[in-house]
Structure 1
Amino acid sequence: MIRIALRLTLLAASAGLAACASRGPVTTGSTYPMTVPERHPIVLSDSPRNLDVFVTGTGHIDPRQADDVDGFLTEYRRYGRGVLVLEVPRGSQVAGGAVGRTLERLRARALARGVGPREIVVAPYPVADAAVSAPVRLSFQRMQAKVAGACGLWPQDLGVTNAGFNTRNEPYWNFGCAMQSNVASQVADPVDLVRGRQEGRIDTVIRTQNLIDLRTGKDPSTTWKQDGRASVKNQVAQ
């Protein structure tokens, strides 16, 4: 009898395990992304960087645009990938001599700032409207931060037609997209969004003075005087 009872117990346990094993995987629906980084993540990708230099006068680079070109060349030397492309308009109302002189001045400026001759490529581009001023366009590829998707999308109706979405009180899809785009466009080095930088060298003079102040019982904080007579600490204490 004991053996029969033991066999029945084992059979019941096996049947229970088989019933559990026969069940399929539980599938759950996707959850709505509640946070801004989930809806509009910032990604790093290679994309073109452009600068339009308008032809002025007889083909010189005015001081205003010269500063822009210098900053653009510095960015290319630091972050650029591939070649520096100088695109020349074809079919514009600007005289060809002025365009050619502007191109040569841009090339000379790039060479003077460390860009190699083999890194400069000149290519034409067609002008769609001859009545519009066509610039000489500088471009190169670099890694940039940007939002993965497009802003301005409204998949939900914020009015009365989507009552289910309104009753859940969830953030609408486009919320935070413009902020993410502004943050991505203002970052000088996109790698800073991935990881922090290494710790730099310490200021030994200031650190030594702080240690001396602590050992002598003085306050090591910096005293900032607004009018030369009172410090910020005294003003806050009042």
Structure 2
Amino acid sequence: MRFSHYLIGAAALSALAGCATYDPIVPVSGTNGRYNHDIEVVEDTEVLELQAYSGQHGIPQYRQGDVRYFLSEYARRGRRHGPLVVSVPQGSPHASSYEASVNQMLNLAAEYNIRDIERSDYNSNGSPEAPMVLAFTAYRAIAPDCPSLATLNLAATSSNDPHPAFGCSMRANLAAMVSDPADLLGARRSDPADTLRRIEVLDLYRAGQSTATERSDSESGAVSTAVE
């Protein structure tokens, strides 16, 4: 008798399960502020023009600050994206001054550890006004245009959707803070592997020796006993 009760109960559960219906889960649209408020990333060419004058030798003192700032910006924003290009006007009556300026600029670039420099001269057609040009490629982030919260009805929650400005301030702050906007376009490439170090480690491994880096006498460490 008890067994028949079990069968009846199991049949009832099966019937209920067969009658039960579930509506598909519909994701709420517009809840991800990362996609609703895109940060636009544009490629720029940063340019600095240096004009030479009669009797001038090298970069004028009052322009050296501009050159240093430009080099620091290249080291910070442009080093990953190509060389620093130096364009010197050929046929200029100030050719000797420009050559001195190039040498001086190379010395300043060495202070910022800048080695990737390309020279690309151009024809000045003898014009004394043709400048020496420094240029590099960089990227710029354009923040989304966030609507003012004063223009939104934050009490309208019947649809359970976020308001149109949701996440916009976060994206605008990210656009303002990111060091290199090119990072928003994708991950950086990995640096090439140290082949010599890899060979050395493999040789030690094959010889059955430790591959760990040896610690110097100045390095020490101990496990704290403050918390047990």
Of the two structures, which has the highest relative contact order with CA contacts closer than 8 Å and spacing of 6 or more?
2
TM-score range, shorter chain: 0.3 to 0.5
TM-score, normalising length: structure 2: 0.45
